[in-house]
């Protein structure tokens, strides 16, 4: 059995999306910038995709800029805004949070190092939420940008985006949000939420990898990130990834059409898995929050006494693809910065597992996971000196 429970890492391209893309690889291969009529098809296909995406988020088509990825969109928003602001002597201060994706964190670090930008990293509570008062108190007359992710990719916690948007608008500060995960799961209205810039990525939304977009509200003008030709109304150079853009537009349209149904179905599975794990596995700790403030598809647990990578391999052996933010699965040996920011001890953060559901999930998969996981955890715990120490400390041994 192939049980894919890592929809946050990436999703398969929807067959309808693939079909919509196909003509743009060879039949309609024209360069959208060319003058002859043959290229008009590529041009209008891009504009149709732009309109599809704009509509899904209640933006104007002129506010959607295609990029190569969520990472590029994040880089553009941060670097473009801070470079411009510094040039205009309008401030060199960036506010973000400790639990952002590395596309934000490493960009902020770059800006500190190469542009002297001052960065405030807001802390989060044990559920992964920022504190609005800390945000308000961090704002100075030098603050050029607030960038807070809409929802976290590891623990699924959704931030109070509307309140953040209001605070930024009141203080006349640009608000960027990394919605790479949220846009795939939630209804987002950029106008109602006072969002100035928003990053999204195709491959989290059943479009291919390597296509993304940055929403930039009309009137907001970050410096360009990719310099060159006049594409994307002179704001993002490089010959357009026409097929990718067409696929992205189609994928967002399909996703929006089924979002409410998917959300209801998937969050029910999510809650069944959470309840099931808490019932069947002793000393399992749910990371993040419950209910509507958690992404409908996210489940993240720490299992004290065991290390995440061993669990991933055991699950893989059983045909289940899952993920961990823990040490051994990544190049670095540090545990998840998100879980540490939420106050978990290192050994808890090392023992975390993430399951993310989506269109490939079935009832059968959910039941299968709940069948095999308790046995995997208990077998590895029995090999662990830490588990023994933990039980002793709880007086259970």
Catalytic residues: 328
Q: Residue 149 touches which of other proteins, ligand PLP, none (CB < 5 to 8 A by kind)? A: ligand PLP
Stretch of 47-55, 109-117, 147-155, 321-329 contacting other proteins, by CB under 8 A: 321-329
* CB burial readout 358-388, b (16+ within 10 A) else e: bbebeeebbebbbebbbebbbebbeebeebe
Task: Find residue 200's DSSP bridge partners.
Answer: 213
Task: Check residue 75 for interaction with ligand PLP (CB under 6 A).
Answer: no
Q: Which helix (H) or strand (E) holds 15?
A: helix 15-21
Residue 70 or 358 having the CB closest to ligand PLP: 70
User: In this complex, which beta carbon is closest to ligand PLP, that of residue 190 or of residue 377?
Assistant: 190
CA distance 5 to 11: 10
Cα dihedral across residues 201, 206, 210, 212: positive or negative:
negative
- Residues 372/314, Cβ–Cβ less than 8 Å: no
Minimum distance from CB of 58 to ligand PLP (Å)? 21
CA–CA distance from 75 to each of 147, 199, 213 (Å)? Answer: 11, 10, 12
- Measuring CA to CA, which residue among 360, 367, 356 is closest to residue 272? 367
Residue 329 interacts with which of ligand PLP, other proteins, none, CB < 5 to 8 Å by class: other proteins
Size of the site for ligand PLP (CB under 6 A): 14
Instruction: Give the C-alpha separation, 192 to 107, whole Å.
Output: 28
Among 180, 266, 277, 344, binds ligand PLP (CB under 6 A): 180
- Candidates 39, 61, 384, 391: give the one binding other proteins (CB under 8 A): 384
Least separation, in Å, of the C-beta of 99 and ligand PLP? 10
Kindly state whether residue 306 participates in binding other proteins, applying the rule CB under 8 A. yes
The Cα–Cα gap between 87 and 225 comes to 15
34, 137, 275, 330: which one binds other proteins (CB under 8 A): 330
Which of 329, 337, 359, 372 lies at the binding interface for other proteins (CB under 8 A)?
A: 329
Name the residue nearer to other proteins (CB basis): 19 or 330.
330
Residue 44 burial (CB count, 10 A): 11
- 339 within 8 A of 154, measured Cβ to Cβ: yes
Rg, C-alpha atoms of the chain: 22
Phi/psi at 109 (5° precision)? -65, -40
Among residues 11, 13, 52, 71, which is the contact residue for ligand PLP, using CB under 6 A?
Answer: 71
Residue 310 interacts with other proteins (CB under 8 A): yes or no: yes
Whether the Cβ atoms of residue 14 and residue 358 lie closer than 8 Å to each other: no
Residue 111 contacts residue 94 (beta carbons within 8 Å): yes
> Judged by CB, which is closer to other proteins: 293, or 309?
309
- By CB under 6 A, name the one of 11, 75, 177, 201 that touches ligand PLP: 201
Q: What is the nearest approach in angstroms of other proteins to the Cβ of residue 341? A: 16
The binder of other proteins chosen from 261, 331, 395, 396 (CB under 8 A)? 331
Q: Of residues 101, 350, 354, 365, which one binds other proteins by CB under 8 A?
A: 350
Cβ-proximal residues to 184 (8 Å cutoff; 6+ apart), any chain: 11, 204, 205, 255
- Residue 103 engages ligand PLP in binding (rule: CB under 6 A): yes
Q: Which of positions 243-282 make contact with ligand PLP (CB under 6 A)? A: none
**340 sits near other proteins (criterion: CB under 8 A):** no
Inter-residue long-range contacts of 256-263, CB under 8 Å, 24+ positions, other chains counted: 256/55, 256/56, 259/185, 259/186, 259/187, 260/187, 262/296, 262/359, 263/185, 263/186, 263/296
Residues that bind ligand PLP (CB under 6 A): 69-71, 74, 101, 103, 149, 153, 178, 180-181, 201, 203, 212
Residues that bind other proteins (CB under 8 A): 305-307, 309-310, 313, 317, 326-331, 333, 335, 346-347, 350, 382-388
């Amino acid at each position: 059995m192939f049980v894919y429970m890592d929809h946050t890492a990436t999703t398969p391209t929807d067959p309808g999306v693939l079909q919509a893309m196909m003509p743009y690889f060879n039949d309609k291969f024209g360069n959208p910038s060319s003058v002859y009529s043959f290229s008009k098809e590529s041009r209008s296909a891009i504009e149709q995709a732009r309109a599809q995406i704009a509509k899904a988020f209640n933006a104007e088509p002129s506010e959607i800029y295609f990029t190569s990825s969520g990472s590029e969109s994040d880089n553009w928003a941060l670097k473009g805004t801070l470079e411009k602001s510094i040039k205009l002597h309008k401030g060199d201060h960036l506010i973000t949070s400790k639990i952002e994706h590395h596309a934000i964190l490493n960009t902020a670090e770059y800006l500190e190092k190469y542009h002297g930008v001052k960065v405030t990293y807001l802390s989060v509570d044990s559920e992964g939420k920022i504190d609005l008062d800390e945000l308000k108190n961090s704002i100075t007359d030098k603050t050029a940008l607030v960038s807070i992710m809409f929802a976290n990719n590891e623990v699924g916690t959704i931030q109070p985006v509307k309140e953040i948007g209001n605070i930024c608008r009141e203080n006349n500060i640009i608000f960027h949000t990394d919605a790479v995960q949220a846009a795939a799961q939630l209804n987002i209205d950029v106008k109602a939420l006072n969002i100035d810039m928003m990053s999204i990525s195709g491959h989290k939304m059943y479009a291919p990898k390597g296509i993304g977009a940055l929403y930039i509200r009309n009137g907001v003008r970050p410096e360009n990130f990719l310099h060159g030709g006049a594409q994307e109304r002179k704001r993002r150079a490089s010959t357009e990834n026409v097929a990718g853009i067409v696929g992205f537009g189609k994928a967002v349209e399909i996703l929006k059409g089924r979002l409410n149904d998917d959300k209801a179905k998937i969050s029910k599975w999510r809650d069944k898995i959470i309840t099931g794990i808490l019932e069947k596995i002793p000393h399992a700790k749910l990371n993040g929050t419950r209910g509507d403030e958690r992404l409908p598809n996210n489940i993240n647990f720490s299992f004290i006494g065991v290390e995440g990578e061993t669990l991933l391999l055991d699950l893989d052996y059983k045909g289940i693809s899952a993920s961990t933010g823990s040490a051994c699965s990544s190049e670095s040996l540090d545990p998840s910065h998100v879980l540490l920011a939420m106050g978990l001890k290192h050994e808890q953060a090392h023992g975390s597992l993430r399951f993310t559901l989506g269109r490939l999930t079935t009832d059968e998969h959910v039941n299968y996971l709940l069948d095999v996981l308790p046995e995997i955890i208990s077998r590895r715990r029995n090999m662990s000196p830490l588990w023994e120490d933990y039980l002793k400390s709880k007086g259970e041994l």
